[in-house]
Structure 1
């Protein structure tokens, strides 16, 4: 690990310290490392490296836009290997929010997300990338699968 020295104005330090407190980081270094990773991932680093990734695609669209729900459904069927799950929320009479978890090569995920966001009738869109290896390794700060168990949720009989 290398040590970096940076200069940050007082106002930004106050914001960083408030972030650290709110998120429960033990120190500034941990928080800064996470912020740098996040910034690099969102700056397109995932796409330039073209590796396996997980992403969330969030977008708000006009459900009454001509053929838009039908076009979106067809796009998701055509890319079923990327789309893992979708949450659909009715926001207003005219607007819906969808959040989709995507998984695949970052270049393919980005191309698909960009295509969905560019559809006529999609008002707002955002894609957030995470490396797929983040999901396969220990999660959190130093926890391995043997450190704890995951509870299974059982369905109640109907």
Structure 2
């Protein structure tokens, strides 16, 4: 582990302290590490269009009775086409008109984004949001899988 010192102007330091309190950080080092990791992950995504990532796709779908089965079938087909990407899906019925869906994904960032865009473009899918975290290759690789941590 390496140590380094940074200087911040008073306004930025005060804002950072408020951020730490709101987010529940116990110390500056953890907060800085998380902020740096998030920013560097964004940069890895921009620089490595083919890099491996982990992602969560969240969206709300509004079921219309006469179109629901057809739409769900299309969404399932889209997910099955890229089945190695999907890890876990949850659905929470908020009310009779809305269902919150989250889909956890892992794989090449270009394929994850393509799947997310295809799902979010479906009629009846609203408020889609993809959160991508670029992975760091594990030092131990297996023949069949590339694991991310």
**Both structures adopt the same fold (TM-score exceeding 0.5):** yes
Ranges in structure 2 where 5+ consecutive residues have no aligned partner:
140-149
Look up the SS of the partner of 1:60 in the other structure.
strand
Superimposed CA distance per residue, residues 32-63 of structure 1 (whole angstroms, 9 cap, x where no aligned partner):
3422432453x574254121111111111112
Find the aligned partners of 2:8 and 2:118 in 1 and give their Cα distance: 40
Contact 1:47/1:106 (8 A) holds in 2: no
Cross-structure match for 1:91 = 94
Find the aligned partners of 1:99 and 1:85 in 2 and give their Cα distance: 8
- Bigger drift between 121-130 and 59-68 goes to 59-68
TM-score by length of structure 1 reads 0.68
TM-score by length of structure 2 reads 0.72
Cross-structure match for 1:121 = 124
Find the aligned partners of 1:133 and 1:32 in 2 and give their Cα distance: 19
Look up the SS of the partner of 1:114 in the other structure.
helix
Cα gap change, 1:44 to 1:124, in 2 (>3 Å): farther
